[in-house]
Structure formats: C-alpha cells, structure tokens
Structure 1
Amino acid sequence: MVPDLTPSIRSALRSSTLLALVLGFGLSLAPASEVQAFGAPESFAELVQKISPAVVNITTSAMIAGPANNRPIVPEGSPLEDLFRDFNGPGQRGPQRSEALGSGFVISEDGYIVTNNHVIENADDITIEFFSGKKLKAKLVGTDPKTDIALLKVDSDKPLEFVSFGNSDLMRVGDWVMAMGNPLGQGFSVSAGIVSARGRVLQGSYDDYIQTDAAINRGNSGGPLFNMDGQVIGVNTAILSPNGGSIGIGFSMSSNVVAKVVDQLKQFGTTRRGWLGVRIQDVSPEIAESLGLDAAAGALVADVPDGPAKEAGIRAGDVITRFAGQEVADAGDLTRRVADAPIGEAVPVIVLREGKTETLQVTLGRREEAEATATPASAPADAGPKQMETLGLTLAPLDDEARARLGLEASAQGLVILKVDPTSEASTKGLMEGDLITKVGQQAVARLQDLEDRIKEARDGGRKSVLLLLRRGGDARYVALSIE
C-alpha cells in the first residue's frame, strides 16, 4: 500500500496494475522519495492571539527644515522600496515637526525592541504603542545601517510580553509565514503567505533576505515575519513594487543575521564585525578555467592591503576555499563568515595557491575601525611612448608621468590601458581607459613583452583565457579574457 495517496490516485494505480496483468506485462513500482504536501492552516487566529502582545507600532517625530507637504517622504538609505511613510500636514513654511510610522517587536521582558534603522533614523522622539493601546517612550540603544536594524529600549513597570528568534536557516521555500505590523498607519494588521525564495541579496554585504508573498506595505518596516511556531524568522524591510504597494514580493532580513546584530548592539551599542583585510571577488567559470580549477567556488583575493591577511601571508591571486573550518562558496559567503568571526582570535584560513593548498592562521581585526581609512581615487593615465594592441586593449608600460597621474609610488609597475575597443570582450567586462594591469596569469607584468609571454604560456598550456589583475584607484579585481 502506498501511503498518503488520494482516492483518485489509488484508483488509477489499481487500473494500471490490472491493465499490466491483463496484457501480461510485469509491473515494477520503483520506491519514490516521500513527498508530503501540507494544506493551509485552518486558521491563524491562535497564532495571532499568541504573538500580538509582542508586536508594536512605532511613531517617530523629528524637526524638518523645509516646508512640509502631504506627500509621502521615503527616507534615504534603505534598500529598494522602503516600507515606510511620513505623514505631514498641509504645506507650511518654516521648520516644523514631522511624524513617521513603522513597526517593531519586543524581544525581552525588560523592554528591548527591534525595528528597522530607517524607521527611527534622525528621529528625536520615539513612541511605542502596544497591542493593548499602552504607549511608552523609547530610547535608542544602537543601529546598524548595513543590515538596516535598530535596537530600542522602553522602561515598563511590569514585564512585557515578548517573542523569540527562530532559526531562519530551517525555513524552506514553500513554508507558511505570517507578517504583522502597521501598514500605511492602519494599526495592527496581519497577513500570511509562504517563503518565496531564500538568500536574496539586495545591495548590502551582509544581506540574507527571505522573500515572501505575505502582504507587506509601507509601515510594515521593522515588523516581524513569523514561522508557524510563533518565532521571528525575519524582519520585514523592503518590497519590490512599481507603485509603492504590495505586489507579493517582500523581503525580510533573516533572523540569523538580525539576532547576531542585536546581541552586539545590546552589549556594545554598535556592531563589532571581524575584518580579514582583503579585497575579494567571486570565482567565475572563466576565472576557474584560467586558474586550472575544477569548480568555480571560493573567494579570489584581488588585493591585500596592510592588515591581518597581509600579516598572515595571504597574497593576491590566492583562492580562499575554507574559513574557520567551513567551505567558502563565494565572496559573499566569506564576507558574512568573517563578519561573524571573533575579533582578536586566530582563525584558520585555507588558500589555494598555484595548484597547492596552504593553511594560514589569521588574527582578525575589527571592520568598523578599518573602514575609517579611505583610499583616494586616481586620475586616468595619458598615453606612454610605447603601445600595443591586444585583447581589445591598447596598452602602454607605466611611466613616471602615468604614476604621478595615478597617484602611485615610484616603484609601481604595470601596463596602463589607453583605449578599450567598445566591441570587445574587455569592454563587455568593464575594463576602462586608465585601468592598470599589474599581473597576467598571476605573474607581475612591467613590459609589453611580459604580457605577450603570459598569453603565449596560456595558449601553450591549452588555456582558453588569461587572467588579468586590474587596479582602478584603490580597488583591485581579476578579469579573465579569452585568448582564442
């Protein structure tokens, strides 16, 4: 007997079996992996009743210098279409107070509340309204603009109802979810849907969004996305919409990202992310082929400025394959793992270098401190006395005049791109006039002959492409170009 089959399917199987026996054929039913389809919940009422006391409406106010009007103002700094709206009175002249609405949820009985950074950004007054109608003033504990998360605190004369974070990694595409918040200032409102996609990246280095078709609108910003156990598995942050309203494409920052940020904000008032000190990029199939790799995986090191990685011996051209004992899928995966790693402690990093693996111990720094240093942009280079056209590029050796224009040290070496053929693969891959090629095939180049030699070596080795290390201003990246 095959379990969990509908009567129609069982009937069809019986008919097929009978037909096979009549025709004299043997029938063999290969065992299939068990697939269970669950129906929609009969009601969400019990879950709503359970979590409602922990969900809050947030009203903020701030003085604005310009004239107010009755149009919604979308704050800058939030990804895609923010779920947030300012409601202003009739247009008047002069500074005046503007109110804005959002959502949030209580995570502890002593009054810690999570919301979006863009909900409370620049506010000088924050009021929390509970499901019971009670209102309390909140103070800001800390914010993290990179994940658009803020932590607030209220003082209550009695313990507050709260909700807990669930494990967002356990959520599957197709699982039921429920959103609750303050859409368009209408007060506490519930919507339900499913997980539409996982691992969405909008624009941030630490993005890990859950996409859902549960109705999310402006004002839902900062509100919780629940699983069916009443655990928060996401913070509603953004929607994709041509008209500003919900079309069933909403994004919630996953709870496993938010929980770590909240813990740091609660403890330090700011984030404390690990810093490796490398500029990295994904390993594309073309780069993998040019390096002789079996698979396009890991994070390719494009540049190693002064910092923890350089001190540990990591070099440009290394492919980081494992970090702290875990495989690295791509550059974004490594960025998130490094951010979560402990500061000031040695972490094992496995790199692939010239076909061999090496294990290095890196003591991570703090990203927030490292980001305080900026690298000035460079100016485009003029043509040098010697030129060569190849790979859709017009190139010249780096000379003193070009070094001065690019803001480089006197010892800097490489080939300057003077021109890019707009119909070439190089143009398609974003190479530009003024870019500096410092390595070809992971070997330094200073003369035009060096480039020719590297291309010949790649062809002789049966390679279809050659790997270039480009520098533009303070940035470096690898690009693979076809040599066929």
Structure 2
Amino acid sequence: MKSIKISLGFMLVWLCAPLVNAAALPDFTELVEDASPAVVNISTVSRSEQSLSTPFGHFEFHGPQGEDVPEIFRHFFRDMPQLREGPQRKAPRSLGSGFIISSDGYILTNHHVIKDAEEVLVRLNDRRELQAEVIGSDERTDVALLRIDARDLPVVKKGSSADLKVGEWVLAIGSPFGFDHSVTAGIVSATERALANETYVPFIQTDVAINPGNSGGPLFNLDGEVVGINSQIYTRSGGFMGLSFAIPIDVAMDVADQLKNQGFVQRGWLGVIIQEVNRDLAESFGLKKPAGALVAKVLPGSPAQSGGLQEGDVILKLNGKPVELSSDLPPLVGRIKPGQTARLEVMRSGEREMVELVIGTMPDEPQQTSRSAEKPAETGRLGLVVAPLEPSLKDKWAISSGVMVQQVQEGAGLQAGLVRGDVITMLNGKRIETVEQFEQVASALPAGRSVPLRIVRRGSPLFIALKTE
C-alpha cells in the first residue's frame, strides 16, 4: 500500500510539472494589445525594374543583382521575394516596419528601408495609409526618422537598452513578408555585439524570429518598453536562423533627436586605425592578457595626433570605460559629443599612461593619410632582406618612412608572417627611417621574447608580434 501511495505521488508531480513550467512562461497578450497600435507597416515607391514585393509569388531568394545569397549579415528587405512588373514602372513595395514615437506623427524605422525611395507610405493599425516625410536618415547607424501628418496617434513606451540583461525575454512586432503585426518572442542572446562593417552600433543579439519585413520594427521588453529596432539577421538561407540583431534604442533615440533638431548626425571622431590584440601581441606589449584596441595608424590632422596618441599605443580605457575588444572603441568614441575632452588609458612602451585629448567631428569620408642612395640590406637574424622605401609608395600609401621587405627567408620574419612587399615602419616601439636604423634596432632585439612590429601591407597598417630565437 505504501508503495502505491509513493507511485501516485510521483505521478502527480510528473503530471503537474508541465503546468508549473507553463505558469512560469510570460504571457504576452496584454503587452501586444497595448503596443500593437503604435507599430506601422512601411512601403516605398521607386523606379525599378523589379518593383513589386509581395508575400504571394515566386519565393526564390537572391541578392539585389540576382546573385546567390552569400553567408553574410543581411538587411532584411534586400532579399524580399520580387516579381518583375516591367522596366521603369512605379509600384509600392512592402519593405518593412516602424513605430510611432510621438503623438504628432514622428516614426522610427531603418535607413535601409527607405533608402533611395521617391515616396514613403505608412499604413497604420487602423488601416489608414499616409504619405510620410523623411525628416532625416543616418546610414552609419541604419536609423531613419519619418513624420506623417496626423495627430493624437498611439505611441510606444521607450525603455533603456542599457538596462537589458542577457537571458531576459523580448518580443518583436512587425510585418514579415507583408503579414502585418506579426508577433514573435525570444530572449536576449548578447548585448553590445559588434558586426562586420557596423562599427558604430553595439547591437543587441536575440533569438527572436525575424524575417524580411521585420526591418525597422520595435523590440520590446516584458514591461512593454521599446529597447531596440530590429535591423539585421545572420543567415545562410535568406530566412531566420536564430541570430537576429537590433539597434539599441538609446543609440536610435540619440540619432533621432539629432535628425529632428539639426537634420544631420554628428558623432565623435578620434582619427585612428585600430586592430585586435591577440595573445602574442599582448605579450609583446607587456599586457597580462589580450585586451584593448591597438593603434595601428594615427591619421594626420586628427584629434588623436593633436592629443599625442601614438602608433603602438594600446587603448585600454576611454573615460573610465574598459575597452576589452578593439570593436568596443568606435561606439564609445562615437557617442561622445565633438568638442568634449576624453581621457584614454593606454599601454605605451610597457607602461600605463593617461592621454587627454579633445574629440573631433567625424568627417563625411574616411581620411587617409627616402633615401635613394641606400642599398638593400640583409638582416640574417630575422631572415629578411629589406630595401629603402620607394617614393611612389610613400604617396600611394601615405607612408612617411619605413623599409620595404624584398625577401623573406627562414627565420623570425617568416614565422611572424611577413611577406614580400610589406613595409616595416616600426620595430619594438622605434620608428624605422632607414635601412641602417632597421639593422641596428633588429640587432638589439631581446632573444626569446615577442616584440611589436608595425607594417603596412598593401596600404593597410597592421601590428604583428615578432619573436627572435
């Protein structure tokens, strides 16, 4: 009898377990009811040979020029299924989503949703369709601000992306493939995620199901507050694969305020080219572990040059905020207002130093910045044959000094990955001006220890670790 009671007890626990788990899951119904009215569908009109996107038609995913879709981070609408309607015909395309941030008609969406559009149409939750004015758009952060002529509109509640924690529930509302007000949910997978070619946005990574048409739609927390704008996915197939990325609302609202007040966006600029610090480089610079952003080049006339930042410095902190990865630095600098003073903690020649400088305004376009009697010289210790730098390369690659690697033989140079054509501009913290100077510095290198070597390879500056035997 006792054994029967125990068995019944276990059975009750087993039967109740799903109910307990179900009760622990969040209920999104009230959130969706409150937030949905402020979410809109956005379509555009433009001249194009492939002008109509629709969820009904031939579902073959290709790139903008018909090429096969590679394994990359994608802006959603570029791979929407498309139907040919004949050349130069105007037709509305359902490209993405947006959300209302003020009752007098201001709307946030993605830059890539409205890029190159002749007209932008907004469809509200009550089925009204209104033409929108593009107040401004910022390609670097992929944020656009629109306005429609309407009043007393429902608005979203704005939260703070800085308060997001990995593992918390989030929810997206948008128009994937044109299906308005579709709701998907998931969790925050990571925060401040850096993506390739997206240096000024610390993305929120989630596993929320995001598909073409969700672009520009809001990402909510459980309090019903917008914490991000859904922007990109990582995919091999063109559809959702569990890796979605959103622009933090703190970044988006800063951009929106600037677009509204001045029509353009200003962001801080340091004027350096940086690279990651790996284990070997960390050892060569006297760091206990790989960390920081290594300054590979200081652009001429930049705030970094005026403030005394040097090539070979490893930036460890900016205004007290740690720089663990090189990708941490650009968004930190970008959020500083031009003209403000910044304090950088750097590792220089094995010692920690503080550098103060005034942050500049980012230019619209990236800035790029001999002794003929010298003969090639062989440095047997490193296995290199180097020669004076040709004047034409100085102008082409904006190099003031250095020596050209002509041959790479067995030795430390080969082990470090040097190749013919590399230009050596700095060795062990010393700037290289001539072949003779390079020989002198190379001969004095400590044995069995990594030292930093700065090179320019096909115009791109790079630090590598060189270790002599």
TM-score for the superposition, normalised by structure 2: 0.82
Matched, 1:327 2:322: yes
Matched, 1:341 2:336: yes
Equivalent residues of 2:141, 2:201 under 8 A apart: yes
Letter in structure 2 aligned against 1:115: T
Query: How many Å separate the matches in 1 of 2:246 and 2:175?
Result: 15
Matched, 1:395 2:385: yes
Matched, 1:120 2:114: yes
Equivalent residues of 1:393, 1:426 under 8 A apart: yes
What's 1:413 paired with?
401
Given candidates 327, 347, 355, the residue that maps to 1:352 is 347
Q: Percent same amino acid among aligned pairs?
A: 37
Query: How many Å separate the matches in 2 of 1:166 and 1:420?
Result: 57
Q: 1:358 to 1:374 in 2, by over 3 A?
A: closer
Query: How many Å separate the matches in 2 of 1:42 and 1:48?
Result: 12
Equivalent residues of 2:177, 2:211 under 8 A apart: yes
Matched, 1:212 2:212: no
Q: 1:65 to 1:431 in 2, by over 3 A?
A: farther
Letter in structure 2 aligned against 1:440: L
CA-based RMSD: 3.3
Matched, 1:49 2:33: yes
What's 2:453 paired with?
468
Q: 1:436 to 1:105 in 2, by over 3 A?
A: same
Matched, 1:81 2:66: no
Matches within 5 A, 1:84-95: 84=77, 89-95=83-89
Matches within 5 A, 1:153-302: 153-156=147-150, 158-203=151-196, 204-302=198-296
Equivalent residues of 2:421, 2:457 under 8 A apart: yes
Letter in structure 2 aligned against 1:193: G
Letter in structure 2 aligned against 1:396: V
What's 2:3 paired with?
none
Unaligned runs of 5+ in 1: 1-6, 12-36, 376-381
Alignment deviations for residues 365-396 of structure 1 (CA, whole Å, 9 cap, x no partner): 11035x36455xxxxxx9x8524366886432
Alignment deviations for residues 175-211 of structure 1 (CA, whole Å, 9 cap, x no partner): 1111110010112110111122333222211232222
Query: How many Å separate the matches in 2 of 1:300 and 1:207?
Result: 20
Equivalent residues of 2:376, 2:386 under 8 A apart: yes
The DSSP-based 3-state class of the residue aligned with 1:110 is: coil
Matched, 1:477 2:462: yes
Query: How many Å separate the matches in 2 of 1:468 and 1:134?
Result: 63
Q: 1:419 to 1:104 in 2, by over 3 A?
A: farther
Query: How many Å separate the matches in 2 of 1:265 and 1:149?
Result: 10
Deviation, structure 1 residue 68: 7.7
What's 2:18 paired with?
none
Deviation, structure 1 residue 347: 2.4
Query: How many Å separate the matches in 2 of 1:387 and 1:343?
Result: 47
TM-score for the superposition, normalised by structure 1: 0.80
Q: 1:48 to 1:197 in 2, by over 3 A?
A: same
Deviation, structure 1 residue 48: 0.2
Query: How many Å separate the matches in 1 of 2:269 and 2:22?
Result: 44
What's 2:423 paired with?
436
Equivalent residues of 1:323, 1:348 under 8 A apart: yes
Deviation, structure 1 residue 477: 2.4
Query: How many Å separate the matches in 1 of 2:431 and 2:193?
Result: 37
Equivalent residues of 1:60, 1:127 under 8 A apart: yes
The DSSP-based 3-state class of the residue aligned with 1:190 is: strand
Q: 1:232 to 1:477 in 2, by over 3 A?
A: same
The DSSP-based 3-state class of the residue aligned with 2:235 is: coil
The DSSP-based 3-state class of the residue aligned with 1:257 is: helix
Query: How many Å separate the matches in 2 of 1:281 and 1:324?
Result: 20
Deviates more, 1:301-310 or 1:219-228: 301-310
Query: How many Å separate the matches in 2 of 1:294 and 1:218?
Result: 45
Q: 1:431 to 1:328 in 2, by over 3 A?
A: same
Letter in structure 2 aligned against 1:254: P
Deviation, structure 1 residue 118: 1.0
Equivalent residues of 2:99, 2:156 under 8 A apart: yes
Q: 1:483 to 1:38 in 2, by over 3 A?
A: farther
Deviation, structure 1 residue 41: 3.3
Equivalent residues of 1:176, 1:192 under 8 A apart: yes
Equivalent residues of 1:241, 1:247 under 8 A apart: yes
Query: How many Å separate the matches in 2 of 1:191 and 1:406?
Result: 55
The DSSP-based 3-state class of the residue aligned with 2:201 is: coil
Query: How many Å separate the matches in 2 of 1:103 and 1:393?
Result: 59
What's 1:379 paired with?
none
The DSSP-based 3-state class of the residue aligned with 1:214 is: coil
